[in-house]
Amino acid sequence: QVQLQESGPGLVKPSQTLSLTCTVSGGSISSGSYYWSWIRQPAGQGLEWIGRIYTSGSTNYNPSLKSRVTISVDTSKNQFSLKLISVSAADTAVYYCAREDDWRSRFEYWGQGTLVTVSS
Amino acid sequence: DIQMTQSPSSLSASVGDRVTITCRATQSISTYLNWYQQKPGKAPKLLVYAASTLQSGVPSRFSGSRSGTDFTLTISSLQPEDSATYYCQQSYGTPYTFGQGTKLEIK
């Protein structure tokens, strides 16, 4: 059974960089036809897709965040990562990592989520 | 971007009721529509994909349907454990977008 687990600082100062890692277990991140995504959810609000990376390393980002986001993969550690630069309070949210299959683009597996607060 | 509009934003129903949640896309997305259930403090859980295919392990009281750009999630006989917020998501193209959510409460 595939499992995903987010990790990273829970508090980031304004204008600094948010960095999160998602560790995948129960399967190789580089096998199969999957996209690995980041999704976030501000408290009491809906879900926002941030972007994804394919097993080949190609990426797609939400245009609303594209200038500030980088998603990368480390196949040796079975992890993928999110970097969001120049953060503000508007970036405070629960951040989820998720696996998307490239057949029907469904988010079948999710991490438990990690709260990141942007505050000085 | 493709916008997804869900209705209602909240509803309250009794155990055993039939409940319907609707999601409308701003353009044709074929059957690239998924439904998720989210309980407080938890990650979303996939219920239905490809508009009408039930995810493995999901109770058969859940079903999905499509009519053009309108999609429906139906719970045929509401159970207490169905109290949650439900989201639709279009997977037709990036950026993927979600509906604003429907909060379902049990009377």
A47-92: pLDDT as tens digits: 999 999 998 889 999 999 999 999 999 999 999 999 999 999 999 9
Q: What is the pLDDT of residue A31?
A: 85
Contact assignment for A62 to B95 by CB distance below 8 Å: yes
Mean pLDDT of chain A: 96
Task: Quote the tokens at residue A79.
Answer: 């992890």
Mean of pLDDT values over B43-54: 98
Q: In this structure, are residues A67 and A54 in contact, taking their beta carbons and an 8 Å threshold? A: no
What distances in angstroms separate CA B15 from CA B23, B47, B77, B82, one per listed residue?
A: 23, 19, 7, 9
Question: Tokens representing B8?
Answer: 């209602």
**Helix or strand run (H / E) with residue A83:** strand A79-84
Give A104's pLDDT tier (boundaries 50, 70, 90). Answer: confident
Query: CB A46 to CB B99 under 8 A?
Result: yes
The pLDDT of residue A112: 98
Contact between B98 and B89 (Cβ < 8 Å): yes
User: From residue B11, how far is each of B5, B58, B78, B105 by CA, in Å?
Assistant: 16, 22, 12, 6
Strands A69-74 and A79-84: antiparallel
C-alpha distance from A17 to closest chain B C-alpha (Å): 22
Calculate mean pLDDT across residues B41-67. Answer: 98
* A46 burial level (CB within 10 Å; 0-12, 13-18, 19+): middle
Q: How far is A75 from chain B (nearest CA, A)?
A: 24
Mean pLDDT of B8-30: 98
Of A9, A20, A51, A47, the closest CA to residue B36 belongs to: A47
Residue of B nearest to A96 (CA): B43
B55 phi, psi to nearest 5 deg: -65, 145
Q: What is the pLDDT of residue A56?
A: 83
- The pLDDT value recorded for residue A111 is 98
Return the closest-CA partner of residue B99 out of B39, B26, B31, B30. B26
Q: Residues 6 or more apart from A50 whose CB is under 8 A from it?
A: A37, A38, A39, A40, A61, A62, A65, A69, A71, A82, A84, A95
pLDDT for the residue B31: 96
| CB-based contact A24:A78 (threshold 8 Å) | yes
Which positions in chain B have a beta carbon within 8 angstroms of at least one beta carbon in chain A? 1, 32, 34, 36, 42-46, 49-50, 53, 55, 87, 89, 91, 94-101
Of chain A, the percentage scoring pLDDT greater than 70 comes to 100
The pair of three-digit structure tokens given for residue A86, joined into one six-digit string:
């120049």
Interchain CB distance below 8 Å, A104 and B91 = yes
- Would you state the structure tokens that stand for residue B93, as one six-digit string? 């193209």
What is the rounded distance in angstroms from the CA atom of residue B89 to the CA atom of residue B98?
Answer: 4
Interface probe, candidates B94, B97, B98, B102, chain A, greatest A C-beta count within 10 A:
B94
Q: Is the peptide bond before A14 cis (omega within 30 degrees of 0)?
A: no
> Is a pLDDT exceeding 90 seen at residue B96?
yes
